[in-house]
Structure 1
């Protein structure tokens, strides 16, 4: 089996924009999902690295789970000029900038149950699926509030379907740098001060498609249509289900129990799970 390197990103700045605590914390279901995500990636695909800021690294070390990422833990530094309120996922772009390709960027709330070699073989870029250009999510260029002097590249096509990047494989280091630099340049030149979704998904998902189109890169999909995801058994993505878990205590208990049982059954050596006080 080919070893495929993966990486997680944990950037805490958005958390501290909404909370007054001195130290970072995660919901129990978020913590368990992150742990199982890393463990399953190790089992089915290869080494996985965690990129995080100083408070994130302190958190995983305090939880006693730093060893989960067998590719190591590396620090990222997102500059203050990138608003964590607007660009809540900016840490992923700075992690991608630091990571060496080929590699797979994996969201913390995504668990990959199978080996993905057959999906990425022969591809340069592979993501979960493409998305439609819905105007309320992906508006035109006139929507964006940018600093004087910033200009959208005239070589970018606004007709390219955006890319869902909850799992993203990239093989080409040079293209990766072009995309990430374009995204960071956009974020650093944005005047927006309040989160409205559109700016973040432009920086992460739409710009990837635009940059690929400009460079003649083909973006493959694990599942060409979003509807194809319903019947698949390759991955589980919490995404919107987190809102249910946050407010429905019974669902939360049931979900945590399932994850604890899976971790204990497949990874009995990970006794630290019991010490986290999230398993009954």
Structure 2
């Protein structure tokens, strides 16, 4: 079985945009999910790398977790010109810029339980699924607050469905660079000052579809239909469940217990590591 390179991204600037804390921290359920995500990727697919800013790297090193990413830890720097309030996921674009394709970008709250080789074989781009063009999330071009010098490529189609990028495979370095450069140029020329969702998802999810169509690339989906996601056993994604865990202590203890048990059972060498984190009750 051929290794599939994966990578995580931990960019702390959005955290400090909203928090007055001097040091970065994660919720216990976020930390355990990230750990199991990395360990399961290693087990089922191949090496995994962490791309993070300096404070993210300090955090994982301080928690004794650096070894979790057997592909290593690499620092990214997102320019101050990119607002972490508006573009809270910009770290993903800068990690993609630094990463070499073919590789799979995996969100920290996504656990992949199986090998995905059969899904990505022969594809240029493969993502979890496409999304509908809902006007409140994906509005038309006139909505965007852009610098007067910026112009959208007239050959970009506004009719292609956006791409959910919680897990994203790209095969070719050249296309990856085109997409990332287009996204960064959009973010650098954005005059928006407050988060409204639409600017970030355009830069990350809609532009990917537009760039692919512009270059004649076909985007495959791990699960083309929404109903398929409900019936699959390939991955677990926390998505909105994080809000339940944040406010429901009982559910949180139950969830953490399941993850601790899974880590200790499948990766007994990490048992002492997670006990030191004091997140398992």
Question: Contact 1:35 / 1:68 at 8 angstroms: preserved in 2?
Answer: yes
Question: Contact 1:146 / 1:190 at 8 angstroms: preserved in 2?
Answer: yes
Q: CA deviation at 1:76?
A: 0.2
Question: Contact 1:38 / 1:48 at 8 angstroms: preserved in 2?
Answer: yes
State the match for 1:49 in structure 2: 49
Q: CA deviation at 1:2?
A: 1.2
Q: Which runs of 4+ in 1 moved over 4 A?
A: none
State the match for 2:255 in structure 1: 255
1:192-271 to 2 correspondences below 5 Å: 192-270=192-270, 271=272
Question: Contact 1:128 / 1:166 at 8 angstroms: preserved in 2?
Answer: yes
Distance in 2 separating the partners of 1:81 and 1:134? 29
Indicate yes or no: 2:155 matched with 1:116: no
Distance in 1 separating the partners of 2:243 and 2:188? 30
**Alpha carbon RMSD of aligned pairs, Å?**
0.4
Distance in 2 separating the partners of 1:175 and 1:155? 16
State the match for 2:73 in structure 1: 73
Question: Contact 1:47 / 1:71 at 8 angstroms: preserved in 2?
Answer: yes
State the match for 1:273 in structure 2: 274
Distance in 2 separating the partners of 1:245 and 1:2? 36
**May I ask how many residue pairs the two structures share in their alignment?**
280
State the match for 2:101 in structure 1: 101
Q: CA deviation at 1:148?
A: 1.3
Distance in 2 separating the partners of 1:180 and 1:38? 24
Distance in 1 separating the partners of 2:234 and 2:250? 26
> For structure 1, which runs of at least 5 residues remain unmatched after alignment?
none
Deviations 1:155-200 (A, max 9, x none): 1000010000000000000000000000000001000011011000
State the match for 1:136 in structure 2: 136
> For structure 2, which runs of at least 5 residues remain unmatched after alignment?
none
State the match for 1:27 in structure 2: 27
Q: CA deviation at 1:227?
A: 2.1
Question: Contact 1:33 / 1:109 at 8 angstroms: preserved in 2?
Answer: yes
Question: Contact 1:111 / 1:236 at 8 angstroms: preserved in 2?
Answer: yes
Question: Contact 1:57 / 1:73 at 8 angstroms: preserved in 2?
Answer: yes
